[in-house]
Amino acid sequence: MVQAANLGFPRVGLNRELKKAQEAYWKGKVSLADLENTAKELRARHWNIQKDAGIEVIPSNDFSFYDQVLDTITMVGAVPERYNWDGGQIDLDLFFAMARGRQDGSTDVVAMEMTKWFDTNYHYIVPEFKADTEFKYSRDKAVKEFEEAKALGIETRPVLLGPVSFLLLGKTYDNLNALDLLDKLLPVYEEVLQKLEAAGAKEVQIDEGTLVLDLDADAKEAFKKAYDKLSAASGLKITIATYFGDLRDNLELAAGLPVAGLHVDLMRAPEQIDDVLAKLPADKKLSVGVVDGRNIWKTDLAKASAKVQKAVDALGSDRVQVAPSCSLLHSPVDLDVEDKLDDELKNWLAFAKQKLQEIKLIADAANGSKDEAAFEANKAAFDSRGSSSRIHNSAVKDRVAGLTDADAQRHNPFDVRIEAQRELLGLPILPTTTIGSFPQTQDIRQARAKFKKGELSREEYDAFLAEKTKEAMAWQDEIDIDVPVHGEYERNDMVEYFGEKLDGFAFTKNGWVQSYGSRCVKPPIIFGDVSRPEAMTVRWSSFAQEQTDRPVKGMLTGPVTILQWSFVRDDQPRETTCKQISLAIRDEVHDLEKADIRVIQIDEPALREGLPLRKSDWDQYLKWAVDSFKISSSGIEDATQIHTHMCYCEFNDIIDSIAALDADVISIETSRSAMELLDAFVNFKYPNEIGPGVYDIHSPRIPSQDEMEKLLTKALDVLSPEQVWVNPDCGLKTRGWEETKPALEHMVAAAKSMRAKIEQEKAA
Ligand code: GLN
Ligand code: ZN
């Protein structure tokens, strides 16, 4: 019989119960026991949802109080020295200290680093490895959760992050190859497997997501060694799970490992099915990921069933499991509670709970008991989505189809444009500016909430925003910022704000997805062709410009970032959707120019995170991503100056593409890693202007004038003074005015002092 399986369920809870409990615990408002109770209730609820949906292979240990990689770090006792661990069982307080740092009394220990999980917007805690790192079984979470489910009468398949991926995802010191630690690590995994077996487990899911990445010979060897050992360590049947891409050149390796089963992602990489079926040894089960764990669209049941049938034909039904493409961690929990979405749109969607039902329907059909009515209804939903006039707008499609290379080019090269811009703007060298937002203080958030609830009228809310914007403009004049911004007080979120003004977007009430720790995001849904019914930002930018003689910088979110931070429609290539957005932003740029806003920033902080997992796929992505930005920023006069901004981005390896954006000015996060950024510019002469952030806005610290001068001096070692802008490294919306005011005053003073020094040197 074909089995219905799941790989992981969202852990935070439909109403973000876990988030609320965690944050209350951190604030000292609830006890550890309360927090643990909430977690226990959520686990029970989620196991029961899966059981009730008819899922036969239900995961455990997919829950986490923060992150599954940190769970693994603590399971194997890889605690960095700075936490002063006593070597005993690791408790939640130590666990949280590693995630969030610890600051009390005389202790001040920084948190472990965090980074993106493959190409998702989920962030994991990065393991830290040194040559002398030792491992020791130190947290019995996996066993406890297995037993907890068992006590509820639910037999589960525990999930572990695999040892090789665990090592590969870490960071190392002193040129260590993390895989050198494998021999020391494996005994702990063997012990865990034995403990799970002793507790009654029969199977285990071991996630080895790195099998879809480019692997060197060492890594391939490590996989063989690891699974030779682990398969012999216990009687547990091991399924190795891969996701987010195709196995490609690692297929033979993955299929050949001495384990009981392999999971493959047939949503991201449907084309790999034939190869997988051909290479899978005769004793092995295949788990086919045919329901998208990363997106919110209904599964095409007929299509999914055809994939499953192919597997059944080749392997026989006892060797096939139906599963989501990856853990459902990346999906919102339950569509049923979305009472604000209209029925037509809702009928095209499936969240985690609905995806489980789909898995069951597909498995049943493969077993000869097809629910004809459900399949009919599913087909009807797909037909309506295929033809709905809400989705398909021929004017938009024609406009994208008609794009030419010229649409993605400014009229003249940078050296011509910059002359016109200098003449129009008349700025000093080392001009000062900020990244866009000013502190979103309590009163602003309250006013927005009241406006949303209808307690504040449109007029009242606008008057409030006008007052705030006016204040910001006056203050920037006073402290002498050369290119002021309006402050973005009217915006909640840099993607949501635009999504709400564009056609083709929808918003959920409760569609939360964990981003990191207790933080969740609620991505907009891009369901249809994107167009811009009317200007989106001209009003506040113009209002700001009326308050000052200085050139105000208009602020837009770029097409790649809007795409990247949304749930994107799956019925056309991402490139096409991105180009549609880029045309909407282009129209906005043109309207701003018409309204005499002559400096316009198009933020693209998410450009780098869209990079494909395999290097050989990068060029194709970068081509359309860069083109999309350029479509947004072209067709305007030479004298109109385009800025862009990027943050959280190690951009050394894509610096050619960043230059290819051909923005007149780029501002970039560098203050925390000044040296690293500047390294890139030693070998690569950045052609346009650039503002290497001179202070870290992620910290409440107020940097001194002197500190910023030092950073600027460093920047001027590799960049020319005509080329450099002076700005913080990101928007200031998460900061308070107490820090922001003095910090920006110091920043302007630093710019002025550096200008004077440069003049002096010139004169001498
Ligand atoms: N303009 C945005 C702001 O200042 C940029 C945010 C970002 O880079 N993430 O808030
Ligand atoms: Zn930023």
DSSP symbols for 73-129: HHHTT---GGG---SS---HHHHHHHHH-EEETTEEEPPPPEEE-TTSS-EEEPPEE
* pLDDT at 674 exceeding the cut of 70: no
Nearest CA owner, ligand 1 atom 1: 436
At residue 698 the predicted structure's pLDDT band, cuts being 50, 70 and 90, is confident
Question: Residue 325: its pLDDT value, please?
Answer: 98
Residue 405's Cβ-count burial label (10 Å; 0-12, 13-18, 19+) is: exposed
Q: For residue 352, give the amino acid letter.
A: A
How many angstroms separate the CA atoms of 193 and 58, rounded?
18
**Residues of the chain above pLDDT 90, percent:** 92
pLDDT at site 747: 98
Q: How far is the CA of 729 from the centre of ligand 1 (A)?
A: 10
What integer pLDDT is reported at residue 248 of this predicted model?
Answer: 97
- Class of CATH domain 415-440+481-651+660-759: alpha beta
Specify the pLDDT at position 684: 84
Q: Quick one: which ligand is closest to 670's CA?
A: 2
Residue ranges of the chain that CATH labels 3.20.20.210: 3-388, 415-440+481-651+660-759
3-class state of residue 301 by DSSP: helix
Of the residues 494, 585, 727, which should be mutated to test ligand 1's pocket, given the most ligand atoms within 8 Å of the CB?
Answer: 494
Query: Which ligand 1 atom is the nearest neighbour of the CA of 491?
Result: 10
User: With the CA atoms of 162, 167, 169 and 174 taken in that order, what torsion angle do they form, in degrees rounded to the nearest 10?
Assistant: 180
Tokens 């004793």 -> residue: 283
Q: Kindly give the distance from the C-alpha atom of residue 643 to the centroid of ligand 2, in angstroms, as a whole number.
A: 13
Q: Are 346 and 335 in contact (CB under 8 A)?
A: yes
What pLDDT digit, counting tens, does each position of 44-100 carry?
A: 999 999 999 999 999 999 999 999 999 999 999 999 999 999 999 999 999 999 999
Q: Which atom of ligand 1 is nearest to the CA of 731?
A: 4
448-492 confidence digits (pLDDT tens): 999 999 999 999 999 999 999 999 999 999 999 999 999 999 998
Q: How far is the CA of 703 from the centre of ligand 1 (A)?
A: 20
The atom number, within ligand 1, closest to the CA of 435 reads: 4
What confidence score (pLDDT) does residue 675 get? 58
Which ligand gives the minimal distance to the CA of 555?
1
Separation CA 619–CA 657 (nearest Å): 9
Q: For residue 494, how far is its CA from the centre of ligand 1 (angstroms)? A: 7
Quick one: which ligand is closest to 606's CA? 1
The atom number, within ligand 1, closest to the CA of 647 reads: 8
How confident is the model over 524-571, as pLDDT tens digits? Answer: 999 999 999 999 999 999 999 999 999 999 999 999 999 999 999 999
Q: What is the spatial distance between Cα 7 and Cα 323, in angstroms, rounded to a whole number? A: 7
Kindly report the CATH class assigned to 3-388. Answer: alpha beta
For position 670, what pLDDT does the model report? 72
Q: Whose CA is nearest to atom 6 of ligand 1?
A: 731
Q: pLDDT tens across 578-589, in order?
A: 999 999 999 999
Rounded to the nearest whole angstrom, what is the distance from the C-alpha of residue 667 to the centroid of ligand 1? 11
Nearest alpha carbon, ligand 1 atom 5: 731
Catalytic residues: 698
pLDDT in tens, 215-259: 999 999 999 999 999 999 999 999 999 999 999 999 999 999 999
Question: In sequence order, what DSSP letters do the residues of 418-431 get, joined into one string?
Answer: HHHHHHHH-PPSS-
| Length of the chain as a residue count | 764
The mean pLDDT of the chain is 96
pLDDT of 165 > 90? The answer is: yes
Q: Which residues contact 658 (CB under 8 A, 6 or more apart)?
A: 607, 646, 651, 666
* The token pair that represents 287 in the structure block: 């788990």
Share of the chain above pLDDT 70, in %: 99
> To test ligand 1's pocket by mutation, which of 485, 493, 555, 564 has the most ligand atoms within 8 angstroms of CB?
555
* Ligand nearest to the backbone CA of 437: 1
Residue whose tokens read 């550096």 = 754
Q: Which atom of ligand 1 is nearest to the CA of 733?
A: 10
Provide residues with CB under 6 Å of ligand 1.
435-437, 488, 494, 555, 603, 605, 645, 647, 730-731, 733
> How far away, in angstroms, is 37 Cα from ligand 1 center?
38
